[in-house]
A and B are shown apart, each in its own frame.
Chain A
Amino acid sequence: MGCCRLMVANARHGSMNRSISKLKYEAVVEVLLKEGVSDPEGVAILDAVVSLGYGSVSKVASGKFFRLMLHAEDEHSAADVVTEIAERLLSNPVLEDFRVRDLVSTNS
């Protein structure tokens, strides 16, 4: 049953990029503001952290975290797809940097 469901999902993905994908992957995309870009959320959180008594903390940077689940032929093509999505949608290159991390195969 699980196998059939996987095949349907693969067929759908395959029609998009003409590849027959077999494996499931998960990846995390982390988006942070570039150095020097205004981060009022980070500043407000830093104020709260210091108010709690953690005077040793000098900076808090706020950002975004996205977990993507996808099918891909191999780890390399999974990383390529996730990187492309991060570049084209998840981040704005004028303001933000991104990092793809924790790319893992989730096939059991």
Chain B
Amino acid sequence: MEYETEAHTFMLGAGLKPMAKLSFNLTGSYTKGTGNISELSFAHLETSDVKLSYNVSALNPNQIYLYDTAYINGISAYSNADFKELDVTLGVAYRLTKQMGIGLNYYYTDYQDDAPYVYRDESNTLQSLVGYLTYSF
């Protein structure tokens, strides 16, 4: 059995201060993460036990035996983790006076769950605005 996880993270940022009173900032990050289990190779085990070897193919062609160790190979299909997350922040700050300033930030987060499993689909998009007034002394 092999368990593999992989993650790529890209980040970008920029800050600009065109004048003493004014500044801008832009940041962004993008993450893609995956995980999976593979190389499971269980074979069917014949036993003399009536339950373990009970043939149910007449009821379900996709499931010949009631219990079959080979069914465990299905873990490869439903063990995948696969998500993408994009975060962006855009901000501006302005100094009104020597002691007072204002600012506004915008936040964007987009999380895409491409392989929902035990926690179901956790995809989400969130946006918010933060405004503030600062007084220094």
A binds B: no
- Residues of chain A having any CB pair with chain B under 8 Å: none
